[in-house]
Structure 1
Amino acid sequence: MRERITYVQKLGDSLEPAAVTVTGDAISGPELRAALEHRLTITLRELPSELQTLLRGVKDLHVQWISTAAYEAVSPLLARLPPGFHLFFTPGRDDAVTNKLCSTLGNIFGDISCSTPAESFTSLLQDRFSHSTAFQYFQQLDSLSRFIRYAKIQLCLPTDTACSARLDSLSKASSLDISYDTTERVLRVTALWPYQRQRVQATAHPQLRTEVGILSADKPKTLERHEIGISGLLTVLGQDSAPSPTMFTFGSRHRDAESSFSAQFLTPTGLHPTLQLRLTSNSPSPSSSSPGDAADEDETTCTPYVYLTLPRTIFADKYQLSDPLFLASKNLTNLRYTTEPVDLEAPEYVMTQWGSSVLLQLSPPPLPSPSSSSSRKEWTAEIPLHMRYLAPAKGGYAAVSVPYPAVFWACDPEPGVDLSRNPFEKGKLGYDGLFEEGTVFWHVEPRAVDPGRAVLVSEVRVPVLDLDRAGWVNAGTAAAVLVGFAWVVWKLVGVYGREGYGGGGKGVGREEGEKKTQ
């Protein structure tokens, strides 16, 4: 088992080696502003038997949990997903293991509402790009409390208070990434805390090899245009007596667009709400010359996208989003991907699959001329959505929460560029499997509409059947049906009384017979 603890500061920040104290298997230093990443690499045989059985029976498994709290990210820890619990999965040949996946996830994470992958998961495209997983699952999950309790039981001794305290700190984490590498047969668990004031402090566990890095972004003169530079201090606890200076570069597929967006539903909402995105820039980076160019003098096509994970309560209509004129009026270009199939008529309470994911290409306004004083422009895009019929509730209304989407610019791969050496690489994000391998993503930071709450969730209030008045509705419906039936019977009886069966007298049959004899 190996552990990596990394403090990542912004460009220009640094820490002198003399400010850090290394004593045996412990390191301490001053408080600094940084993002904090913890990564555990665990071999298969070191895992609980329940997880060993599960992982031996899968081909690909990636779990991503993202907090609903807004947070600031720093390079190179920039990859983003909509808030919630994401699962990307490719099954193996053992169907019994696959069918136990949902129950195992429930034991670990708590309130996971899937039943089996066949019923609850949705399929992803594998025929176009092989680096995509086969299935996807999403669920809104606000807390890691159940996972923390599970990890304490499996990883910590009852007397190990330090282990318990470190797991408790996950309650303030911004994201948790659990990925199984079938080639190396190891499980990588990576937790990320936001950019904020952090105290440098770590102690190695006797059974762990612990490496601590205090790093910051750097721009050496030899930096290539596709690379990110990092410099700082590295220490292997229990091995090094002092931190060692380091500097290295690597290619990165996740970059900072240095812009932000917010999302909210336009009012009134009703059953067909519109999600409005407000973006602060119409270019992938401040140095871009046009929306079709990357942040470099060389021309590389970059296109803005929005990726939504919609719970089963709400969906996008692909037929509505196939009209070019309609899309243009919303600052959209085309529907790049949507989950198939999506039932447009089923109410929420009969749905079994988790919901749907949607990838839409945005249509930003053109950049101003080079002579303009402002090179970037704020703009909006609107995404039409549709509510499903929801279960009855007291009061006649139900609140539906929709996680913020991920917004990014996708730039074409550059020939000959190796992105595999990134020690902070984060893949299997769902949308990355919809693009060619090597695509570079410039991420737009989400900002909460209400700074007081600072949550990345948009809420909409939906009218439903009021349980307090449901009795009157049932009685009224029954009465209306009964009155209608009585009216139809009364009319039939009236016709029968006047004409008799078959029309009486001459009747229809008699008239037809007379015509035949003429």
Structure 2
Amino acid sequence: MKQRITYVVTEPESFTPEQISVQKRKNGNGDTFTLKGVHAAKEHRITLGLDELSQAPINIEVLKKWHELHIRWASDFPDSVTAPFTSRVSPGLHIFFTPSTEAKNPDLCRDIRSLFSDTYSPIKCTTSHETAIKIPMLSERFSMSTALQYYSPFSEDDWDASKIAEWFQNMTGADSSASYIDIDYDAISQAVIFTVVWSHAPNKKGWTESVYVPEDESTVEIGVLSHEPNTDPEDVQFGGFLTMLGRDDKPKPTRFQTPTRHYPLLTPESFNPNTTPKLSPLTYTTSINRPTGLHPTLTLTLPSEHLTAPDPTCKLHTYLTLPSALFIDKYQFSDPLFLTSKNLIALRSIAGATDLEAPDWVVPQWGSASLFELASPSSSAADTEASAPPSSGDWNVSIPLHLRYLPASPTPHTPISIPWPVVFWVCRADEGEKHSLNPFDRKHLGYEALFGPKTRFMHVQPARERGADEEYKRLVETIDVPVLDTQKAGMVEMGTVGVVVLAFLGLCWVLFGKVGGKEAADKMKKKQ
């Protein structure tokens, strides 16, 4: 087993080397690494060989079914994670996988239920062949692509109830909620990599903890780094201290620079070599129009004054992950005037459940995923003769959605959760081939295969807004959809029967009543 623990200091001005140390354990078995009050984002990565899986909740028989298996879970709490942990997916459980050619009818759904309890939130999954959707890709040989994708709006409560969450807590010893968790396996490496990332320490005092080697055969690499100034817009640079427990007596100073696929969106001043990098103030919010009706509209709101492309080659995009209860009518987005009115450039890709007529209970897929290119004030101004300065208002992007008819329920309304999409600038990367050299590179997020390998993603952070209860609003929008109330279905049935009977009697009166009246009138005429 190998472990790599990385702390990226978020307050470098207040950090001192005296806050970290390596000491011999009292019993003489190995070294202990200690931190005291370090404010940082944290990544804990655990690598297990297949012969070591007895320690993990995933067994080898499950993995042998898949050529590749990549699990991504993201919290629905808004977190601003520092570089190099800036990549994002929509809140919930994402699974990207390619079945093994040697496996016969592998059942992903059964494996999902064995790992993730669906006690709190039922998992829509019949068979992996029916439920999963095929991921469109730029090239069949693209290395960041798997064949199929599955998604479930798995909340933090659902995740905490799963076997994997319990195992992660025992292995990492952390009490705070994670920003995201990744599990990666491929048949070539024959290894499983578990990764968990926290955006901040569990309390305002920072990380105060001790780390040691649990077994003689294990290795633990620890780094305490800070994001340093760098003039290259494609690379990130870190400086700090590294240590390998059992080999180093004390943390060693280090500095390294690496190209990155997912780059943080920084202020222009951050590329000054004498300035500490700072995140751009650009954020976005997601909302649903009220009342929603059967055709809700998802609106992305961004401040216009900060909505400037970081480079002329960059284009603004959003990637939506929608449950099967909602769908996008792709034919709407073929009209240029319609797109302009919504501040959209184009619908670049859509996959999954796109049937325009089917009710939700006959749709086997989990839902759909779509990629939109968005217009921005700078791109709109480019169409005019002179570019206007950025305005101070909000820039709204509207994406029309459509609701499917939902199954009957004991209540008159059924709640539907819509996860916030991810928003990012897509820019050209001249050093795209070197992305795999980044030790923090994160792949298999669903949308990379829609672009070429020479692409870097500059992510816009979701806004952190407090609700009426002073808690941060979650990155999920909920709408109540009217459905047939089964408790009142009897009244509806009786009413329907009554209307049918009355209509039948009325029809009989029209048909036979008039005939009888006409015969009586004829008889009276004959007598006269």
Bin the TM-score by the shorter chain: 0.7 to 0.9
Does the C-alpha gap of structure 1 residues 83 and 340 become closer, same or farther in structure 2, counting only changes over 3 Å? closer
Superposed displacement of residue 126, structure 1: 4.0
Q: Give yes or no for the alignment of 1:189 onto 2:194.
A: yes
The equivalent of 2:342 in structure 1 is: 330
Q: What is the letter of the counterpart of residue 113 of structure 2?
A: G
Provide the rounded CA distance (Å) in 2 between the counterparts of 1:2 and 1:345.
51
Pick aligned residue for 2:420 from 393, 404, 415: 404
Superposed displacement of residue 42, structure 1: 0.9
1:236-285 superposed Cα distances (whole Å, 9 cap, x missing partner): 1122111011100000011122221010112221111111111135767x
The equivalent of 1:106 in structure 2 is: 113
Pick aligned residue for 2:150 from 137, 140, 148: 137
Q: Give yes or no for the alignment of 1:116 onto 2:132.
A: no
Provide the rounded CA distance (Å) in 1 between the counterparts of 2:436 and 2:513.
85
**Matched residues, percent identical?**
35
Provide the rounded CA distance (Å) in 1 between the counterparts of 2:131 and 2:451.
25
Secondary structure of the 1:319 match is: helix
Q: What is the letter of the counterpart of residue 201 of structure 1?
A: S
Unaligned runs of 5+ in 2: 25-30, 266-279, 520-528
Contact in 2 for aligned 1:260/1:281 (Cα 8 Å): no
Provide the rounded CA distance (Å) in 2 between the counterparts of 1:236 and 1:441.
32
Contact in 1 for aligned 2:109/2:125 (Cα 8 Å): yes
Provide the rounded CA distance (Å) in 2 between the counterparts of 1:326 and 1:373.
25
Q: Give yes or no for the alignment of 1:242 onto 2:250.
A: yes
1:148-174 superposed Cα distances (whole Å, 9 cap, x missing partner): 763588x6xxxxxxx864456376111
Unaligned runs of 5+ in 1: 156-162, 285-289, 501-518
The equivalent of 1:125 in structure 2 is: 136
Provide the rounded CA distance (Å) in 2 between the counterparts of 1:499 and 1:45.
94
The equivalent of 1:364 in structure 2 is: 376
Secondary structure of the 2:110 match is: helix
Q: CA RMSD in A?
A: 3.0
Contact in 2 for aligned 1:108/1:147 (Cα 8 Å): no
Provide the rounded CA distance (Å) in 2 between the counterparts of 1:381 and 1:234.
44
Does the C-alpha gap of structure 1 residues 377 and 426 become closer, same or farther in structure 2, counting only changes over 3 Å? farther
Secondary structure of the 1:71 match is: coil
Provide the rounded CA distance (Å) in 2 between the counterparts of 1:415 and 1:205.
39
Secondary structure of the 1:328 match is: helix
Pick aligned residue for 2:86 from 66, 70, 78: 78
Q: What is the letter of the counterpart of residue 300 of structure 2?
A: L
Superposed displacement of residue 469, structure 1: 2.8
Superposed displacement of residue 352, structure 1: 2.0
The equivalent of 1:198 in structure 2 is: 207
Q: Give yes or no for the alignment of 1:47 onto 2:79.
A: no
Q: Give yes or no for the alignment of 1:457 onto 2:476.
A: yes
The equivalent of 2:98 in structure 1 is: 90
Superposed displacement of residue 84, structure 1: 0.1
> TM-score, normalising length from structure 2?
0.83
The equivalent of 1:429 in structure 2 is: 445
Contact in 2 for aligned 1:129/1:434 (Cα 8 Å): no
Please give the residue correspondences for 1:167-246 in structure 2 after superposition, counting only pairs within 5 Å: 169=174, 172-196=177-201, 197-206=206-215, 207-219=217-229, 224-246=232-254
Contact in 2 for aligned 1:32/1:198 (Cα 8 Å): yes
Superposed displacement of residue 404, structure 1: 0.7
Superposed displacement of residue 390, structure 1: 1.9
The equivalent of 1:508 in structure 2 is: none
Superposed displacement of residue 376, structure 1: 8.0
Superposed displacement of residue 464, structure 1: 2.1
Provide the rounded CA distance (Å) in 2 between the counterparts of 1:236 and 1:376.
50
Contact in 1 for aligned 2:333/2:346 (Cα 8 Å): yes
Superposed displacement of residue 123, structure 1: 1.0
Q: What is the letter of the counterpart of residue 471 of structure 2?
A: R
Q: Give yes or no for the alignment of 1:38 onto 2:44.
A: yes
Q: Give yes or no for the alignment of 1:348 onto 2:391.
A: no
> TM-score, normalising length from structure 1?
0.84
Superposed displacement of residue 415, structure 1: 5.7
1:85-107 superposed Cα distances (whole Å, 9 cap, x missing partner): 001111111343622x2211211
Secondary structure of the 1:267 match is: coil
Q: What is the letter of the counterpart of residue 72 of structure 1?
A: S
Provide the rounded CA distance (Å) in 2 between the counterparts of 1:395 and 1:57.
40
The size of the alignment, in residue pairs, is: 478
Does the C-alpha gap of structure 1 residues 395 and 113 become closer, same or farther in structure 2, counting only changes over 3 Å? closer
Superposed displacement of residue 340, structure 1: 4.3
Secondary structure of the 2:492 match is: helix
The equivalent of 2:6 in structure 1 is: 6
Provide the rounded CA distance (Å) in 2 between the counterparts of 1:448 and 1:276.
17
Q: Give yes or no for the alignment of 1:270 onto 2:293.
A: yes
The equivalent of 1:510 in structure 2 is: none
Provide the rounded CA distance (Å) in 2 between the counterparts of 1:482 and 1:316.
41
Provide the rounded CA distance (Å) in 1 between the counterparts of 2:391 and 2:513.
81
Worse-superposed segment, 180-189 or 230-239: 180-189
Worse-superposed segment, 3-12 or 317-326: 3-12
Pick aligned residue for 1:260 from 283, 296, 302: 283
Q: Give yes or no for the alignment of 1:308 onto 2:320.
A: yes
Pick aligned residue for 1:251 from 238, 255, 259: 259
Contact in 2 for aligned 1:413/1:436 (Cα 8 Å): no
Secondary structure of the 1:70 match is: coil
1:384-420 superposed Cα distances (whole Å, 9 cap, x missing partner): 1111122334552222211111000111232675211
